[in-house]
């Protein structure tokens, strides 16, 4: 699993909890629906500004969208929690 895959899961769940479409989320954060789709499928790793826009549009924190993603300092790689 890659960080973008865990982010994708978190983003999709946050959007579904708000009961809004990808198109509505895109409208709220000034991103195209296809960008939202790419992010939710793990096809693209978001930039910091995009994470902040998404979090604001979903009324959550950037940290909530990154839950489960950790950097292992000793191992030099990402680790994930479910």
- CATH classification at residue 31: 1.10.260.40
The pair of three-digit structure tokens given for residue 19, joined into one six-digit string: 């009961």
pTM of the model: 0.87
Query: How many domains, in total, are found in the chain?
Result: 1
31 or 77, which is more confident: 31
Find the mean pLDDT for residues 75-79: 79
φ, ψ of residue 23 in degrees (nearest 5): -65, -45
Residue 69: pLDDT band with limits 50, 70, 90: confident
Taking phi first (over 0 means left), then psi (-120 to 50 degrees means alpha), and beta for anything else, what does residue 78 get? Answer: beta
pLDDT value of position 29: 94
Q: Which domain holds residue 34?
A: 3-80
Instruction: Render pLDDT for 3-49 as a digit per residue (tens, 0 to 9).
Output: 899 999 999 999 999 999 999 999 999 999 999 999 999 999 999 99
């Amino acid at each position: 699993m890659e960080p973008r895959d865990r982010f994708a899961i978190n983003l999709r769940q946050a959007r579904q909890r708000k009961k809004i479409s990808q198109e509505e989320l895109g409208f709220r954060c000034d991103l195209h629906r296809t960008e939202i789709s790419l992010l939710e499928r793990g096809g693209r790793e978001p930039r910091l500004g995009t994470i902040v826009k998404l979090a604001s549009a979903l009324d959550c924190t950037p940290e909530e969208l990154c839950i489960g993603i950790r950097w292992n300092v000793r191992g030099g790689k990402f680790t994930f929690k479910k």
